[in-house]
Amino acid sequence: MKLPIFLDNHSTTPVDPRVLEAMLPYFTEKFGNAASRNHVFGWEAEEAVEQARKQIAKLINADPKEIVFTSGATESDNLALKGVLEMYREKGTHIITSSTEHRAVLDTAKTLEAKGLATVTYLPVDKYGMVNPDDVRNAITDKTILISIMLANNEIGTINPVHEIGKIAKAKGVLFHCDATQGVGKIPVDVQAMGIDLMSFSAHKIYGPKGVGALYVRKKSPRVRLVPQMDGGGHERGMRSGTLPVPLIVGFGKACELCGAEMATEAPRIAAMRDRLQTSIMNAVEETYLNGHPTERLPGNLNISFAYVEGESLLMGMKDIALSSGSACTSATLEPSYVLRALGVGTELAHSSIRFGIGRFNTDEEIDYTIKKVVEVVTRLREMSPLYEMAKEGIDLKSVQWAAH
Amino acid sequence: MAYSDKVIDHFNNPRNMGSFGKDEEGVGTGMVGAPECGDVMKLQIKVQDNRIVDAKFKTFGCGSAIASSSLATEWLKGKTLEEAQQIKNTDIVQELNLPPVKIHCSVLAEDAIKAALADYQKKAAAKTSSGSSQ
């Protein structure tokens, strides 16, 4: 087994060697611009792009023409929200989203709000991080133009009832955008069955390269139109100008093809590793709390709070395992995870949370090592923790007057 | 963010980690921070003849908070109460090479030192006054 171990597959994933192999010719001998219509270099590039478009569309049950290439999911989210708002502003300016969306959606919504271009409803989530479809229905007004709800959450892995939300959107004639960055390639996604009109996702979360993503834009019933946010040569049906990064797109296509072919065996294999990690840790360590939905959750996701120890110190104690924490100390803002806060997880437990993200290339041996290490480090840090000591003495930590700073 | 070697060393080999017994003589305890803020430090000193003969800490917090309190106990040992008052958070920042985002850890350690000294002095004063009244 090689150290360090990568257990942060929600942040990114390594490029699958088969993906890299597909990409390589397009850096060197097949380097053409897909927009060059007059020579073989261009044709070759265009053909590769169209092949990738098919592979990507197939994974989500879309038409290849409905795939708009972007630089990644952040750009896709921006294009979806800003593009729709600008296009349909005469019809309405109200957006419905949820409090646990990715920052790419939340901050875009806030920008639109700040500029006076939109009013935004941020729906709460339940204790598992799930949006209630009834809340979506009740929030719709005659001014509502767009619903933007994520498929699966990046911190806690909770999968939203997207089918139901799609039905509500359709019945009310409101467009439905879904940030599916964490879900595509991991769980079945079908834009038809789910009633999705716009969908953001990216390659690097599914063993493809960084720097490329897509926005699915529905072509019929209804035909969704967008005001482009990037002006230029009118690429991608005019929705996103800019020379297509052919090697990245080829990699994105191959990555989608592999996910489609292997999901049925890969998802249960990854879920089994996750379940073993979860059970072993939670059985061995007292006062641990699972964050997120117990079953409606991405196969590779595990988010646990370890009472009385702080997240960043946990990560530091396991420095040969790459993980992520909801602790304030690991964020740029010095605030603990807003996702965990939205679930009603107490601030102190948000500070104590660790996210494990299991992916395609993790092994049982790595999981064994991680279990051992987690138990060891939590035990050591609890011995060092005044909170643990007080709790053991029977002191109710909530009754203590803390000298906050 | 990369940690300095000194922070890593204190984190991996904390000095003077633990607590004094509840009834031990000459102990002053300072507890600062709050669980919601993500760090709580408990710092204890044991004083004999105006000199700190031993110190212990327990910390809930990030690696830098643990290192700051571990270092504080190292520095406290052997110092007189007056000398201990002089320890500044900036000394800790410098010694541990703390980045700006971790300066609050050193502030917390200085607060913990001051709180432990004040607690000791309060207890000592109470003892003197109860002793004289007998």
Q: What is the DSSP string of B61-93?
A: S-HHHHHHHHHHHHHHTT-BHHHHHT--HHHHH
The minimal CB distance from B58 to the residues A328, A386, A402 is found for A386
Q: Which residues pair with A122 in a beta bridge?
A: A97
Contacts of A213 (CB under 8 A, 6+ apart): A69, A70, A71, A72, A73, A74, A75, A76, A181, A200, A201, A202, A203, A252
Contacts of B34 (CB under 8 A, 6+ apart): A402, A403, A404, A405, B40
B103 CB neighbours in chain A (<8 A) are none
Residue B134 Cα, gap to closest chain A Cα (Å): 33
Answer yes or no: is B82 within a domain: yes
Per-residue pLDDT, averaged over A284-301, amounts to 98
CB-CB contact of B60 with A385 (8 Å): yes
Give the chain B residue nearest A314 (alpha carbons): B62
Instruction: Tell whether A351 is within 8 A of chain B (Cβ).
Output: yes
Q: Which residue segment(s) compose the domain that B48 sits in?
A: 5-125
- Judge contact between B26 and B120, C-beta under 8 A: yes
What percentage of chain A carries pLDDT values higher than 70?
98
Residue of B10, B43, B62 to mutate when probing chain A, most A C-beta within 10 A: B62
Record: contact B11-A346, CB cut-off 8 A: no
Q: Nearest by CB to B62, which of A313, A387, A403?
A: A313
> pTM of the full predicted structure?
0.94
Task: Please give the Cα distance from A266 to A276 (Å, whole number).
Answer: 16
pLDDT of A328 over the 90 cut? no
Q: Would you state the pLDDT for residue B128?
A: 82
Tell me the C-alpha distance between A73 and A212, whole Å. Answer: 8
The band of A239, judged by pLDDT with boundaries at 50, 70 and 90, is very high
Q: In A115-245, where does DSSP find H-type helix?
A: 133-139, 162-172
Given CB atoms, is A384 within the 8 Å cutoff of chain B?
yes
Which residues does residue A301 pair with via DSSP β-bridges, in sequence order? A357
Residue B133 lies in a domain: no
CB contact under 8 A, A316 and B59: no
Q: Model confidence at A332, in pLDDT bands (50, 70, 90)? A: low
pLDDT at A333 over 70: no
| Residue A398 touches chain B, beta carbons under 8 Å | no
Provide the pLDDT confidence category of residue B79 given band limits of 50, 70 and 90.
Answer: very high
Q: What is the per-residue pLDDT for A335?
A: 80
Say whether B61 and A310 touch across the interface (CB within 8 A): yes
Kindly list the residues from chain A whose CB atom is less than 8 angstroms away from the CB atom of residue B36. 346-348, 351, 402, 404
B41 CB within 8 Å of a chain A CB: yes
Residue B60, in any domain of the structure? yes
Q: What is the mean pLDDT of residues B10-36?
A: 94
**What does the pLDDT read at residue B21?**
87
Average the pLDDT over A298-324 and give the result.
Answer: 96
Q: Number of structural domains, chain B?
A: 1
Say yes or no for a CB contact (<8 Å) between A334 and B101: yes
Question: Percentage of residues in chain A with pLDDT exceeding 90?
Answer: 94
Of the given ranges (A51-60, A212-221, A377-386, A395-404), which has the lowest mean pLDDT? A395-404
| Per-residue pLDDT at B134 | 44
Q: Which of A178, A256, A259, A329 is catalytic?
A: A329
Chain B environment of A334 (Cβ under 8 Å)? 101
In angstroms, the separation between the Cα of residue B34 and the nearest Cα of chain A is: 5
Half-sphere exposure of A134 (CA within 13 A, CB side): 1
pLDDT attached to residue B133: 47
pLDDT above 50 for A209: yes
Do the chains contact at B38 and A327, CB–CB below 8 Å? yes
Q: Which helix (H) or strand (E) holds A317?
A: helix A311-317
Contact between B17 and A327 using a beta-carbon 8 Å cutoff: no
Instruction: Identify whether B132 is part of a domain.
Output: no
* Domain contains B134: no
Q: Is residue B130 part of a domain?
A: no
The number of angstroms, rounded, from the C-alpha of B26 to the middle of its chain's C-alpha atoms is 15
pLDDT at A163 over 50: yes
What is the C-alpha to C-alpha distance for residues A217 and A65, in angstroms, rounded to an integer? 9
Q: Are B39 and B65 in contact (CB under 8 A)?
A: yes
Q: Does B60 touch chain A (CB under 8 A)?
A: yes
Q: Are B133 and B99 in contact (CB under 8 A)?
A: no
Q: How confident is the model at residue A343 (pLDDT cuts 50, 70, 90)?
A: very high
Searching chain A, which residue's CA lies closest to the CA of residue B62? A313
d(CA A96, CA A135): 10
**Contact partners, residue A99, CB within 8 Å, separation at least 6:** A122, A123, A124, A125, A338, A342
Taking only residues 299 to 328 of chain A, the set having a beta carbon closer than 8 angstroms to any beta carbon of chain B reads: 308-310, 312-313, 316-317, 327-328
Q: Is residue B101 part of a domain?
A: yes
Helix (H, G, I), strand (E, B) or coil at A6: strand
User: How many other C-beta atoms lie within 10 A of the C-beta of residue A382?
Assistant: 21
- Residue count of chain A: 405
Among A309, A384, A405, select the one facing B37 at the smallest CB separation.
Answer: A405
Mean pLDDT across chain A: 96
Q: Among A309, A351, A405, whose Cβ lies nearest the Cβ of B108?
A: A405
pLDDT, chain B, mean: 93
For residue B111, which residues of chain A lie inside 8 Å, CB to CB?
403, 405
Facing B32 at nearest CB: one of A384, A397, A405: A405
Q: If 0-12 CB within 10 Å is exposed, 13-18 middle and 19+ buried, where does residue B72 land?
A: buried
- Regarding an ipTM greater than 0.85, the answer is yes
Q: What is the pLDDT of residues A128-161, one digit of tens each?
A: 999 999 999 999 999 999 999 999 999 999 999 9
Residue partners of A298: CB distance under 8 A and separation at least 6: A152, A157, A159, A182, A183, A186, A187
SS3 (DSSP) at A238:
coil
Answer whether B17 sits within 8 Å of A386, measured CB to CB. Answer: no
Say if B80 falls within a structural domain: yes
Domains and CATH numbers, chain A: 5-9+263-396 (3.90.1150.10), 17-259 (3.40.640.10)
pLDDT at B132 over 70: no
The pLDDT of residue A363 is above 80 = yes
- Predicted confidence (pLDDT) per residue in A367-404, tens digit: 999 999 999 999 999 999 999 999 999 999 888 888 75
Residue contact B33–A383, C-beta within 8 A? no
CATH code, domain carrying B97: 3.90.1010.10
- Count CA within 13 A, CB hemisphere, residue A70: 26
Q: Tell me the average pLDDT across A9-20.
A: 98
State the count of interchain CB pairs (< 8 A) between A and B: 90
pLDDT given at position A89: 94
Single-letter amino acid, residue A52: A
Asked if residues A354 and A183 have their Cβ atoms less than 8 Å apart, the reply is no
Q: What is the pLDDT of residue B2?
A: 78
Q: Which residue has the higher pLDDT, B62 or B129?
A: B62
Q: State mean pLDDT over B81-90.
A: 97
What pLDDT score was predicted for residue A152? 98
- Give residue B130's pLDDT: 73
Nearest by Cα to A162 from A141, A202, A133: A133
Q: Give Cα A170 distance to the centre of its chain.
A: 24
Q: Does B20 touch chain A (CB under 8 A)?
A: no
